[in-house]
Amino acid sequence: MTSEEKGELTDPGEGTGDDPGTTEAATLDAAAAELFPDEHPIFARKELLQIGHIPEGDRIVGRDEEIQSLANQLIDATQGNSPENVIIYGKTGTGKSLVSKYVTRVTKWKAERDSDVSVGTVYIDCAEDTTEAQTIATIASSLNNAGTEISIPPTGLSTGQYYKRLWSVMDALHDVVIVILDEVDMLDDDDKVVMKLTRAEEAGKVDCDIGLIAISNKIQYVEGLDERVKSSFQETELFFPPYDANQLREIMRNRADAFREDVLTDDVIPLCAAFAAQEHGDARRALDILRNAGKLAYERGEEQVTEVHVRDAQDLAEKERFRELIGEAPTQSKAVVLSLALLTISTEEDTFTTGDIFAVYKFICTQVDMDTLSERRVRDLISEQNFLEILYSEPRSRGRGGGRYNAHRLIDDAGLVKETILEDSRFDQLFSDVSEDELGRVIQSRV
């Protein structure tokens, strides 16, 4: 096979008679000098801001209580005994995954150093391994990393066989195993997995002590658990509250060395914190905005990260969030939300009745040649969007004897909503054929 067939890049000087090595190096040198600065002008250690980066313990801010509570539940593991099972819940970006990984790491360290107890720790992202068999196979194979004779094929065994091999691996390698089931609500058979892992020892399947940390950002998850499963956790629930703006600032300041010195202007971190606190105190969101602000500054060839970059990064994040929410929605739903956005943009108001939305929706359907649904169906679509947190509906009263109606308001910025929905080519004809005037007339004359 020639290098070309293998898809390798060939030397531009090849076949010209020049020394190919020198020519190539010179060409690439020149290109590299033009494309890349010697060192990144904005970031010094960008990895500190990457998703998935686990900061050292002293960089975990504002979670001392949660860290200590979790450690209290795991203390028996450090002596080679069975730790408590724990459910951790709290909204997204509140440090649940981070704290769990950190505390289990310290537990393992302490057990091995002081008591010669072997603690196996496994982290499972249940959003990836969604079936019972996959979850058990992943737990078994990651524990088995240390190496036993037991083979754990990624697929092909029955669920029961995977359990058997898991028990053998555990007994062969460890005194205690701590399993973190992150995003446990995404698991199809979460009840079964939790029950089997927490009762394995009692049922005489293994000698090894097993501790389970189940994590969910759905508060309802805990309430909805089967009573038998709940009792496995013996009510050991840890709640992670959202961060406030001060804590978010502290979290970011602790990673400010991701940037070169003097690159961050003073208002950048407070502004990122303010945006993320508005949301619900989500640290991931804060770090994302900060990283993206740095990226924007670099792409624009600027030497410092300023408030402007933060605001633009926030807009991009909002757009991304909205795109995820509406992206896969049926065209009809998009038309309904677009109607609300157009109304909001063209008037002084920000809340509208179902009738208002329906009037503009009908106009859009005719323009883009789409079936027009009944007003009742449109009302249903609106309540679905309400559920998805795209818009917000609240009951109003028309005054004495006037009855009640719903007023609808967009959650995100209307301009951004309009722009995102118009990315769907289905709406291409909307503004090409129609003058904006005609749309304006419909909006002004709505009932």
Ligand X SMILES: Nc1ncnc2c1ncn2[C@@H]1O[C@H](COP(=O)(O)OP(=O)(O)OP(=O)(O)O)[C@@H](O)[C@H]1O
Question: Scanning the structure block, which residue is given the tokens 């929605």?
Answer: 329
95 counts as binding ligand X under rule CB under 6 A: yes
Q: How far is the CB of 112 from ligand X (least distance, A)?
A: 25
Rounded to the nearest whole angstrom, what is the least distance from the CB of residue 312 to ligand X in the complex? Answer: 21
Q: Running DSSP on this structure, what letter comes out for residue 374?
A: P
> DSSP class of residue 4?
T
Question: Taking a C-beta distance cutoff of 8 angstroms, is the pair 80, 209 a contact?
Answer: yes
Tell me if 132 sits within 8 A of 189, measured CB to CB: yes
* List 98, 210, 273, 326, residue binding ligand X (CB under 6 A): 98
The distance of closest approach from Cβ of residue 325 to ligand X in the complex, given in angstroms and rounded to an integer, is 16
Smallest distance from the beta carbon of 317 to ligand X, in angstroms?
14
Site residues, Mg ion (CB under 5 A)? 97
Binding mask 189-228 for ligand X (x = CB under 6 A): ----------------------------x-----------
- 194: tokens are 């939790």
CA-to-CA distance for 312 and 323, rounded, in angstroms?
16
Residue 92 binds which of Mg ion, ligand X, none (CB < 5-8 A, kind-dependent): ligand X
Q: Does 97 interact with ligand X (rule: CB under 6 A)? A: yes
Give the x/- contact pattern for ligand X in 419-438, rule: CB under 6 A: --------------------
Q: How far apart are CA 177 and CA 174, in angstroms?
A: 7
Position of tokens 């997204």? Answer: 92
**Residue 369 DSSP symbol:** T
Contact with ligand X (CB under 6 A): which of 78, 85, 94, 292? Answer: 94
Task: Choose among 128, 66, 141, 65: nearest CA to 97.
Answer: 66
Q: How far is CA 403 from the centre of its chain?
A: 42
Q: Of 8-16, 39-47, 91-99, 402-410, which segment contacts ligand X by CB under 6 A?
A: 91-99
CB of 383 to ligand X, least distance (A): 26
Nearest to 173 by CA among 248, 93, 119: 119
- In the block, tokens 């313990």 appear at 57
User: Which residues, 6+ apart, have CB-to-CB distance to 201 below 8 Å?
Assistant: 82, 207, 208, 209, 210
Of these partners, ligand X, Mg ion, none, which one is at the site of residue 134 (CB under 5 to 8 Å by kind)? Answer: none
- Candidates 23, 79, 92, 331; binder of ligand X (CB under 6 A) is 92
Min. distance of Cβ 86 from Mg ion in angstroms? Answer: 14
From the list ligand X, Mg ion, none, partner contacted by residue 174 (C-beta under 5 to 8 A by kind):
none
In this structure, is the dihedral angle defined by the CA atoms of residues 22, 28, 31 and 34, taken in order, positive or negative?
Answer: negative
Q: Which stretch binds ligand X (CB under 6 A): 58-66, 128-136, 318-326, 405-413?
A: 58-66
Give the chain's end-to-end CA distance (angstroms, integer): 73
- Is residue 170 part of the contact set for ligand X (CB under 6 A)? no
Instruction: Choose which of 62, 80, 241, 270 interacts with ligand X (CB under 6 A).
Output: 62
Residue of 46, 59, 230, 409 interacting with ligand X (CB under 6 A):
59
The answer to whether the beta carbons of residues 385 and 409 sit under 8 Å apart is no
CB proximity list for 399: less than 8 A, separation 6 or greater: none
- Residue pair 251/95 in contact (Cβ under 8 Å)? The answer is no
98 binds, among ligand X, Mg ion, none (CB under 5 to 8 A by kind): ligand X
Taking the least distance from each CB to ligand X, the nearer of 59 and 199 is 59
Which residue, 218, 88, 200, is CA-closest to 136?
200
Nearest to ligand X of 62, 80 (CB atom):
62
Residues 236-255 that bind ligand X (CB under 6 A): 251
Query: Residue 60 interacts with ligand X (CB under 6 A)?
Result: yes
Among 284, 311, 409, 426, binds ligand X (CB under 6 A): 284
- Per CB under 6 A, residues contacting ligand X are 51, 55, 59-63, 92-98, 217, 251, 283-284, 287
